[in-house]
Every structure is written in C-alpha cells, then in structure tokens.
Amino acid sequence: MQPTKEKSDLQKKVHEVPHKPGVYLMRDRFNRVIYVGKARDLRKRVSSYFLPSKIAQADLKTRAMLGAVWDFETHTVRSDAESLLLEGKLIKEYRPRYNISFRDDKRFLLVKIDMSEEWPRFRLARFKKDDGARYFGPYAHSGALRQTLNFMRKKFGVLTFGRGSPTERELKSATYQVPMRLSEIRAEQYRERVAQACEFLEGHSREMIATLEEEMRKAAEKMDFEKAAELRNMVEDLRNTTKPMRRFTRGSLPSAIDPIADVQALADALQLSRTPRVMECFDISNISTTHVVASMVCFRDGVPDKENYRRYRVRTVEGQDDFASMAEVVRRRYSRILLEAREANPNAAGYSQENTFDAARRLERDANPQSPIRNPQSYIRLPDLIIVDGGKGQLSAACRELQRLGLHDLPIIGLAKEHEEIYRPGRALPLQLPMDSGALRLLQRIRDEAHRFANTYHQLLMKKRIGESILDDCPGVSQNRRNLLLRKFGSVNRLRKATVEEIASTEGIGRKLAEDVHRFLHRH
C-alpha cells in the first residue's frame, strides 16, 4: 500500500482549527483513521498533541500514535453531548487501532418502555432490540438521565426502573406515585400518564422547564440559594435529556465550518440585497427580576468580533418582559450609533435631505470608502443584519424601535429556539432551513454566542449580589447605609480591604459602626 499524499504541515494546520466543541480524527500515511477523540475546544486539544513538551512526557502508546500521524481533520458539533455521541459513532465505524473505548455499545444509555405490559415501566437499556418496545435516546449524560427518570416518576406518577407488575410498596406508597397511588387508579388511567411522560421525553418539555425556572427565580429573589441551585441542577438535567439530539449515521458527518460560505448561504436564504458581512445579535437574560440583562454580539465575515460585543442592564422595564426589554436594548444600541455618526460628521452636507438609514450608510462610506471591514474601530456603521433571539414578539418589539429611529430598511430577523424557525418582518409564516444548512449553523453560532455572553454577565451580577447580601447580616447596617457603603467602595471585597478610618469617612457611618463593619467582614 502506497501513501496517499505528502505529510501535512500539522503545526500550521492547527491554527485553522476553531475554538469549538467537536471531534478530531488522526490519519496515517495511508489515510487510515488511527485515532478518534473529542474536545470542548478543538484547537486547544489538537494543538496540545504537537507540543514538544507533550511528546516528551507522553507514554509509549501516545508517542507511537503521534509518530504515525500524517494528517488530521476536525468536525464541529453544537454541544459537548453531541461530540460524545459522534465520537462513539466514529469509533465504532472506523475501529481505530489506538482507541480502546467504545469497542462495544455500553457507553450510552437508552430508555425503554414496553407498552404490551399491563403497567408499563420506563427502564434503562444498553441495546435497541426489535422486540416491539419503544426506545428513547441514546443519551450522553447518564447521570442527568437517571435524575430525569426520577423527576418523571414524581411528576407523572409512572413506574421507573425495576421489573414486572407494581410491587406492594409501589401500589400503596404516595412517595412513588404523584398525585395519587397506583392502587387508586385503573391501568387505562395509568397509560394516560405514560403517554404524557413519553411526550415529555420526546422534547415536549418547554412549559414544564419554564415552570421550574420560575421557581428557581423566586428562590433566588428570596435569597434561598440552596433551593435555587437545586432547581437549577434539575433544569439542566431535564434540558440535557429532553433537548433534540442529532442521530449521527453513515454519511451524516458534519462538515467543517466555512464562515465566508456560510455568510453567502445566509444571504441567499434570506434573499438579502447586501451580503451580511456584519451581523449583530441580541439576547435577553432574566434569571431574576433583580437583574434583567441583555447582550449584543457582533460577527464579521462569519466569525466573532469580540471587541464590539456589548452588554446591557435593562433600566426601564419592570419585572420580566422579554418584549419590552428587547425594545429597550435595540433602541439604546442604534440611537447611540446614530448619535455618534452625527457627532463624527456634524457638517455633513445634505444630511437633512436624506432619511436616517441612507444618511448613516453614506457616513459609513465617507468614513472609510476603501474597506469598511479592514479597520472596524476607525468608523461608525450599522450592521448588515440584525438577529434577535426569539419569535414574533421579540421581532415586532425590535422592529417598532427601528422604525421610530428611521431604520426601517435595516434587515432584521428573529430566530426562535424550539424549532429553529426564522421570523421575518411582514411574513406570516416562519422560514425553516435544513439542519445541515451552513446558513442555519451560522445563525445558531451567533445566537448561542449571544446567549453565552448574556448568561456570563448575569452570573457576574448574581455573584456580586450574593456578595453584597452579607452586609444584610451585619448589625447596625440598614439598607440605606448598605447602599452608601457599596456606592463608595464599589464592592464588598473592596470594603473588606478598607481601614476603619476609610469606612468611617463614609456619610452616615460613624466610628463605632465602622469598627463593627470592619470586624464583621473580617470574621465572615
């Protein structure tokens, strides 16, 4: 057998690997797959193989594999769970000589229910058999799956685990069946519960998860952080189990990301008159009513432009109102851009004769007529496409604000999470792109990045709030004095480092109270 091609420059190729979750395949000189691995960050993982220090410390097996590597390829996926499933599928398909895991089918779990039984149970299984039973899965998170089955037992009153007909304990114990004991209902009524539980496993869980999230928010607002954390873990388990997961089959291997091609595919799919080289995406995060925040992330030529990310604390909205919150941040973002454009060009001729959108576009060209993408910080510009995370409601709220600003010609869409539906102004029906479409993958990447950025900001504020709450337990510190201290020092950590004299210099804080605060913070 002859080598298929010359050896690739692996060190150079590593720099082309994205910082995304996915799988990587190592190939030898005959183009055979000799190793398959997964990673949360493909570039970090793959590059680590070719560091001299890594090679020097590697065991004999790893050294032998690295010596045989002639080339590699990577494939991105949407989540860590999908990378685990795809890794297992590829290992079973290629049988790489340097992989020892996944040699059998014992890595992933399935949920099985046999409807021919009088009292069907939800059980765990390793293999899918042609036995007439119904199967769900496979599931990458075994722990989350077991917790989800426990939740189903309590929520729907269905039997889980075990075998055969209900035991005496299961028939009589209220801790097993909610809201009533099995001994008090007929088998036909029980089957209605089973049908509801099956729909839940199939992914029809949005309302239930939303209810748990609301309970979590209320617990956080009451400072019951232990309960909030318990509910947060339960929501995460349910999402990991019930969210749609791709089934990887032969020929369905995801292709590598090509940002420029994806941008063009998106322009074609949306029938845009201008290629969306610059896109801005908004996401609202409202884990609690105390801190409702939003994020705006920017993609240029299909890749993140992190220097132009923005984050917002919603100011004018009472409670949790995604529509009003979206309207506020869109208004703040683009009214600021228009203001900066006017300030940068106060004597622009003919501005008053143009509409706002045309004037802003002209100012972009005047600021950098050669290549506006080349130096994004040197000019002010509107995006080629706005994306809001949500459906018709969020899109309508954003469109109203753009119209008030005179930016009604600015392209905008809404991307709804549940079925990845694309909503467009003036169109009654949403657009659905194929799941393997490069255009949809690009939208998912920017939407997920906006969601991550918003949640990161929310977590930062929540940590700060938890830190501030320690002052509530300090004797003599009223709500007003707490606010005065935080306003002056900025955070509890800075207050903890302050001297008694510095604390006492705060308005409304005397020497004795300053000593009490200083002593309290150093004990807690």
pLDDT tens for the chain, residues 1 to 524: 555 566 777 888 888 888 888 899 998 887 888 899 988 889 988 988 887 776 767 777 777 788 888 889 888 887 777 787 788 778 877 788 887 644 444 456 788 888 888 888 888 887 777 777 888 877 767 777 888 888 888 777 788 887 777 777 777 664 444 556 777 778 788 888 888 788 777 766 666 677 777 778 777 777 777 777 777 777 776 766 665 555 555 455 554 568 898 999 999 999 998 899 999 999 988 755 556 788 999 999 999 998 899 988 888 887 778 899 999 999 999 999 888 877 766 665 444 445 666 666 666 666 554 444 444 444 467 999 999 998 899 999 999 999 999 998 899 999 987 678 999 998 888 998 887 788 998 998 899 889 888 877 766 665 555 555 566 667 777 777 777 787 777 777 778 888 888 888 887 788 888 888 888 877 76
User: How distant, in Å, are the alpha carbons of 165, 174, 215, 272, 431 from that of 362?
Assistant: 75, 71, 50, 19, 31
Amino acid at 146: R
The answer as to CATH 3.30.420.340 being correct for domain 271-452 is yes
Q: Where in the chain is the domain with CATH 3.40.1440.10?
A: 10-94
CATH fold of 10-94, please? GIY-YIG endonuclease (3.40.1440)
Written as six digits, the tokens of 145 are: 């799956």
Written as six digits, the tokens of 266 are: 């998106």
Contacts with 423 (C-beta within 8 Å, 6 or more apart), sequence order: 391, 392, 395, 413, 414, 415, 416, 430, 431
Strand arrangement of the beta sheet that strand 134-139 belongs to: 134-139, 109-113, 121-125, 159-160
- Which stretches within 106-184 are classed as H helix? 142-156, 168-172
C-alpha–C-alpha distance, residues 262 and 48, integer Å:
29
Output the pLDDT for position 272: 93
The whole-angstrom distance between residue 160's C-alpha and the CA centroid of its chain comes to: 30
Output the pLDDT for position 458: 64
Contacts with 459 (C-beta within 8 Å, 6 or more apart), sequence order: none
Q: Are 396 and 323 in contact (CB under 8 A)?
A: yes
Q: Where in the chain is the domain with CATH 1.10.150.20?
A: 474-523
Q: Where in the chain is the domain with CATH 3.30.420.340?
A: 271-452
CATH number of 474-523: 1.10.150.20
Q: Could you tell me the end-to-end alpha-carbon distance of the chain, in angstroms, rounded to an integer?
A: 70
- Residues pairing with 296 in the sheet: 282, 310
Output the pLDDT for position 290: 55
Residue 1: which of 27, 25, 29, 26 has the closest Cα? 29
User: How distant, in Å, are the alpha carbons of 122, 316, 482 from that of 181?
Assistant: 17, 49, 51
User: How distant, in Å, are the alpha carbons of 101, 203, 302, 447, 479 from that of 424?
Assistant: 46, 26, 20, 16, 47
**HEC per residue, 222-264:** CCCHHHHHHHHHHHHHHHHHHCCCCCCCCCCCCCCCCHHHHHH
Pairing mode of beta strands 421-423, 303-304: unpaired
Whose tokens are 């000189």? That residue is: 29
Q: Is the pTM value of this prediction over 0.75?
A: no
Output the pLDDT for position 105: 43
Output the pLDDT for position 371: 43
C-alpha–C-alpha distance, residues 236 and 255, integer Å:
28
The H-or-E segment that residue 423 falls in is: strand 421-423
* Packing angle of the helix pair 259-270, 438-468 (nearest 10 deg): 100
In degrees, rounded to 5, the angle at the alpha carbon of residue 418 between the alpha carbons of residues 416 and 420 is 55
Contacts with 139 (C-beta within 8 Å, 6 or more apart), sequence order: 108, 109, 110, 111, 145, 240, 241, 245
